Amino acid sequence: MQAAARLDLIPLWFTPFFSTGGVSVPKRAAILRKLAPYRVRPDLPLVFQLIGHDARSLSATAAGFAEYGVQGINLNFACPSKTVTASGNGAYLLRSPETVFELTQAVVEAVPDGVSVSVKLRAGWDSPDHIREIVRAVCDAGADWIVFHYRTAKEMYSPVDASERVRRIACAVEAAGNVPVFGNGDITSCADAEALVRSTGCAGVAVGRGFLSDPWLVRRILSGDANPASEAEKSAFLRLLLAGTDSTKRGRNWFLECVKMTYGADSVEFREARECDWGALRARWAES
């Protein structure tokens, strides 16, 4: 993400979730440590995502991050992972729209004007039948915008019919009224993003895995330019990544993953990179 931010490939920085760990509130030093990686582009709006189920801890943590200059707080009511939901966090909370309302309202009241409070939702816990109630709960609590992943938590990442994706996102858009909804799930191209906005009326899209396999995706969607990244852009991206990668085995493997995602698993670049030792790999990309 750092490389993508430095190369202007994203319009804002949306962080991975930070767990408030039950009822605790992070100290000033912990907040500053968490914010440090984002200082490379202080001009990019920063939306910091929190996950938790305790109103006091979430609201105090949100206020702490707001004090140190984030532009937005996002509450994660969407993560379906067993470790997260087993402790009553993430998508588990979708079982109770009342709780979602209370947590969102507590955070809205805790942060100053000018800091947005948004939420990340899935379509429900084990059924998409309560989209309207869940969306109304966060809107009534004062959420400024919503990122809506169309699957339920129980569906995890399993395939859901394309027409059902449209139906669920359109339902969220309709329930949200004038609160913007960003459709999310399986968007991998400009054409798909445009079609989703057209068919559901959503205000825009959010991309996850599509961005990981194509870091230029967001920029292309925003500019409407469907052309793939140029060779010069790809080299610049990898050079920047390399500069921030350490020489450990983990660093090398991570960089190889980035070459794979930039050029594809079947590319000559990835095959060559896999065969290089770390020194040769560094020399190859530092010079490109």
Ligand X SMILES: Cc1cc2nc3c(=O)[nH]c(=O)nc-3n(C[C@H](O)[C@H](O)[C@H](O)COP(=O)(O)O)c2cc1C
Residue among 16, 45, 177, 228 that touches ligand X (CB under 6 A): 16
The dihedral built from the CA positions of residue 138, 140, 142 and 144, taken in this order, carries a sign that is: positive
The window from 36-44, 105-113, 202-210, 264-272 that contacts ligand X (CB under 6 A) reads 202-210
Q: Is 20 in the site for ligand X (CB under 6 A)?
A: no
State which residue, 110 or 187, has the beta carbon closest to ligand X: 187
Q: Is 182 in the site for ligand X (CB under 6 A)?
A: no
Cα–Cα nearest to 182, from 213, 150, 134, 159: 150
C-alpha to C-alpha distance for 175 and 23, rounded to whole angstroms = 32
With contact defined as beta carbons under 8 Å apart, do 159 and 146 qualify? Answer: no
C-alpha to C-alpha distance for 259 and 241, rounded to whole angstroms = 10
Q: Is 210 in the site for ligand X (CB under 6 A)?
A: yes
The pair of structure tokens assigned to 35 is 């914010």
Q: Three-state DSSP class for 183?
A: strand
Q: Judge whether 258 counts as a catalytic residue.
A: no
Residue among 120, 219, 252, 260 that touches ligand X (CB under 6 A): 120
The window from 53-61, 138-146, 182-190, 195-203 that contacts ligand X (CB under 6 A) reads 182-190
DSSP 80: -
Q: Residue 99 Cβ, how far from ligand X at the closest point, in Å?
A: 18
Q: Is 183 in the site for ligand X (CB under 6 A)?
A: no
Q: Is 76 in the site for ligand X (CB under 6 A)?
A: yes
State which residue, 149 or 234, has the beta carbon closest to ligand X: 149
Work out the end-to-end distance of the chain between its first and last CA atoms, rounded to an integer number of angstroms: 21
State which residue, 15 or 105, has the beta carbon closest to ligand X: 15
| Separation in Å, CA 199 to CA 101, 181, 190, 203 | 28, 13, 14, 11
Residues within the interface to ligand X (CB under 6 A):
16-17, 49, 76, 78, 120, 149, 184-187, 207-210
**Residues designated catalytic:** 79
